[in-house]
Amino acid sequence: MTAAELIGRAVARLRALPGIDPYLEARVLLRRAAGFTDFEIFAFPGRPVAAAAARRFLRAVEDRRGRVPLAYILGEKEFWSIPFTVSPAVLIPRPESELIVERALELVQAPDPLIIDIGTGSGCLAVALAKEIPGARVVATDISRRALRVAEANAARHGAGNIRFAAGDLFGALRGLGLEGRADLIVSNPPYVTEEEWKRLAPEVRAHEPRRALVPGPTGLETIRRLARGGPRFLKRGGVLLVEFGAGQAGAVRDLFGPPWTRSETARDLSGCPRVAAAVL
């Protein structure tokens, strides 16, 4: 089959999926399966595609039609202009979370800060910050050892040798590391989806992404509350906790940062929604 024939077949199969561009996704899948560039797909639509590559492509199309996230099919997702390996062991990085990196770079003054990433998942926050601040020492934790293996692979892939990984539940992973009162910054994209919101999420999310990375409990605030309580133990005076939260949670999150926190503020994402809280010790 030719590239054009395969693209046409894929578009016909993917057209029913809500909220996607079937032609764009077909091109992305063909690039990966056959090693073509976009220029080659556009300029040489009659180019034959090797049988093995065509089979890979059609299998990927059927996976996508079955609502497998595109990032899991490709095994990769870009974040902060860095390609990250992803698997169903980790949440797929979202563009909204780049706001955490932006705020961190605005707030961190020291050339050699100690940064703790709680619930690192794919390692996207830890690696992005380690690359942006080469003098930083980064400690990245996750309760899932499968997720940590993905994060470690991403750190190695991008030469981020200034990251130490630790397994455990939130701050429990830091036990015995001697980090109390020493961190300049704690970052976290914790689970914050409510039980009711979970029921309304797209099949791509509910059937494939790790529920534990999304839903902490009925209210969606359970993990953020624990971060607010545990963060002061590890931050130095004037240190900052940056935490992502969901739509409609800004007021409730703000209320979590009473004493010993001295102040908190909220940053909005590109859509104008409150998205990241910065709490100062």
pLDDT band per the 50, 70, 90 thresholds, residue 92: very high
Residues 98 and 223 in one domain: yes
Residues 216 and 275 in one domain: yes
Instruction: Look at residue 141 and tell me if it is in a domain.
Output: yes
Least reliable range by pLDDT among 52-56, 252-256, 269-273 = 269-273
Q: Which CATH number goes with the domain that contains 55? A: 1.10.8
Residue 208 phi, psi dihedral angles, 5° rounding: -130, -35
Residues 106 and 225 in one domain: yes
Residues 253 and 114 in one domain: yes
Instruction: Kindly provide the b/e burial profile for residues 185-216, where b requires at least 16 CB atoms within 10 angstroms of the residue's own CB.
Output: bbbbbbbbbbeeeeeeeeebbeebbbeebbbb
Residues 59 and 191 in one domain: no
The predicted structure's pLDDT at residue 187: 99
Q: Which CATH number goes with the domain that contains 138? A: 3.40.50.150
Range of the domain at 55: 3-66
Residues 62 and 95 in one domain: no
Q: Residues 9-30: what's their mean pLDDT?
A: 96
Residues 116 and 33 in one domain: no
Single out the residue in 33, 66, 99 at which a domain terminates. 66
With vertex at residue 116, the alpha carbon angle to CA 115 and CA 118, rounded to the nearest 5 degrees, is: 150
The predicted structure's pLDDT at residue 40: 92
Model confidence at 44: pLDDT above 90: no
Model confidence at 53: pLDDT above 90: yes
CB atoms near residue 156 (< 10 Å) = 13
Q: How far apart are the C-alpha atoms of 179 and 189, rounded to whole Å?
A: 20
Instruction: Domain count for the chain, please give it.
Output: 2
CB atoms near residue 242 (< 10 Å) = 24
Instruction: Look at residue 9 and tell me if it is in a domain.
Output: yes
Instruction: Look at residue 264 and tell me if it is in a domain.
Output: yes
Single out the residue in 14, 32, 66 at which a domain terminates. 66
Q: Which residue has the tokens 């104008």?
A: 272
Q: Residues 208-217: what's their mean pLDDT?
A: 97
